[in-house]
């Protein structure tokens, strides 16, 4: 019988060892998913990019052969949102918001990201030491930013944060109700803005896309939901894990403090080394395709392990070593191809600003617990840690 997938990730620094074994000896291998169905697991960097850029591998979750990676994901379904939608509709909806998330557009938000980071550091300092860097800083910085972009009231942010974390649970009994609750919340939010639009992104889409009939209410709800959850949860995890990597060896944090030019490369190294999309990118083949010498038949389920691809020895030298000066820009932490993360430039900005502000305001920041004692969040399909106790 083929190996079970996905395996639990218990280390805050390294993917499950099984992935390295596959990458070296069986780079494209059949695995068994939680529901008993099988899928091809792609573990090498070159093969991963080949699958993700090939339109014959569909991200359409309404396909009956589309793989479900955990019990909280109900597939096939027609409510996967833009990230799980067939072409050409996926590209059409993506184009409606793409210009808001270009490098140039995101850069106009830098003053606000700076302000939010400064405010959260002030709250961190006022509440400690010691303090939990996750709840006081890593989560609020991207959460406040995406809520401002979408027009989510500040009073609703605790609900959004709580339900978002539950919604990425592997367990159906917690993941599905939470996803339903936050979807219902976004539905009400969109309906309110349809009646009383403001200056936020949802209101702009109401005026420019919904009213002219180019986007339905439900499609806007799905889009806003993806932006809201993915727009803060993945970045928060990366900031928390990145802080753990820096503070585990204090010399790393001192280097960032003393040389701010490291921040750009550091952000991409965080995204490569800590690839938070733990379970991978699911696809389904719509035609017979040969990848890495393996024939994948039409209708076969495929899972691309982004975490494994980002540790590929043939692409990254000493990939299991965190290197502040590595040029890791080609990493697959944001995916690749037509479904590459829409918010990648915003995430990079938030990560850079978050650490620049920490290094400046809290130069003596240190772990308040051994790195080995940090509680890994293994019950979700997004890699992360529950808390990060720090002192200064």
Alpha-helical (H) ranges within 128-216 are 133, 140-150, 157-167, 172-195, 201-205
* Cα distances (angstroms) measured from residue 121 to each of 108, 118, 124, 253, 390: 22, 5, 5, 16, 13
Instruction: Give the C-alpha separation, 57 to 285, whole Å.
Output: 4
- The reported pLDDT for the residue numbered 172 is 84
DSSP state of 108: T
DSSP 197-239: --SSHHHHHIIIIITTTSS-HHHHHHHHHHHHHHHHHHHHHHH
- β-bridge partners, 291: 294
- Model's pTM, two decimal places? 0.95
- The reported pLDDT for the residue numbered 78 is 62
Number of CB atoms found within 10 A of residue 144's CB: 21
Q: Token pair for residue 187? A: 């539905």
**Domain boundary assignment for the chain:** 82-275+317-387
Domain 82-275+317-387: which topology? Cytochrome p450 (1.10.630)
Instruction: Give the C-alpha separation, 331 to 146, whole Å.
Output: 24
Q: Token pair for residue 151? A: 């027009």
Residue 11 neighbours by CB under 8 Å, 6+ apart: 376
Mean pLDDT by 10 residues, the chain (392 residues): 88 93 97 97 98 96 94 74 85 96 97 98 95 97 98 97 91 89 97 97 98 97 95 96 95 93 95 95 98 98 98 97 96 96 97 97 96 88 94 97
Alpha-carbon torsion 283, 287, 290, 296, what sign? positive
Q: Which helix (H) or strand (E) holds 84?
A: none
Number of CB atoms found within 10 A of residue 236's CB: 26
- The reported pLDDT for the residue numbered 380 is 87
């Amino acid at each position: 019988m083929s190996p079970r997938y996905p395996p639990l990730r218990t280390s805050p620094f390294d993917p499950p060892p099984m992935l390295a074994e596959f990458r070296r000896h069986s780079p494209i291998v059949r695995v068994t998913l939680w529901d008993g169905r099988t899928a091809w697991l792609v573990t090498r960097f070159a093969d991963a990019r080949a699958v993700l850029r090939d339109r014959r591998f569909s991200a359409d979750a309404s396909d009956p052969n589309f793989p479900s990676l955990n019990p909280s994901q109900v597939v096939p379904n027609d409510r996967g949102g833009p990230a799980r939608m067939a072409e050409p509709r996926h590209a059409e909806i993506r184009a409606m918001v793409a210009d808001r998330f270009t490098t140039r557009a995101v850069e106009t938000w830098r003053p606000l990201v700076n302000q939010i980071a400064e405010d959260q550091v002030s709250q961190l300092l006022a509440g400690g030491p010691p303090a939990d860097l996750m709840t006081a800083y890593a989560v609020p910085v991207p959460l406040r930013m995406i809520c401002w972009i979408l027009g989510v009231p500040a009073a609703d942010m605790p609900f959004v944060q709580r339900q978002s974390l539950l919604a990425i649970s592997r367990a159906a009994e917690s993941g599905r109700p939470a996803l339903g609750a936050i979807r219902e919340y976004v539905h009400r939010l969109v309906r309110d803005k349809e009646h009383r639009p403001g200056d936020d992104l949802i209101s702009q889409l109401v005026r420019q896309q919904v009213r002219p009939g180019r986007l339905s209410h439900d499609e806007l709800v799905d889009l806003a939901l993806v932006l809201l959850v993915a727009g803060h949860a993945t970045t928060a995890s990366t900031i928390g894990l990145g802080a753990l990597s820096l503070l585990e060896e204090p010399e790393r944090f001192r280097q960032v403090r003393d040389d701010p030019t490291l921040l750009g490369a550091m952000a991409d190294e965080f995204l490569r080394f800590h690839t938070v999309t733990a379970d991978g990118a699911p696809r389904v083949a719509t035609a017979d395709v040969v990848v890495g010498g393996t024939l994948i038949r039409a209708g076969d389920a495929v899972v691309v392990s982004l975490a494994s691809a980002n540790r590929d020895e043939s692409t990254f030298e000493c990939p299991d070593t965190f290197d502040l000066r590595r040029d890791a820009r080609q990493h697959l932490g944001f995916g690749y191809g037509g479904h590459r993360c829409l918010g990648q430039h915003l995430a990079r900005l938030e990560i850079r600003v978050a650490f620049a502000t920490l290094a400046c305001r809290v130069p003596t920041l240190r772990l308040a617990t051994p790195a080995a004692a940090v509680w890994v969040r293994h019950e979700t399909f997004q890699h992360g840690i529950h808390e990060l106790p720090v002192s200064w």
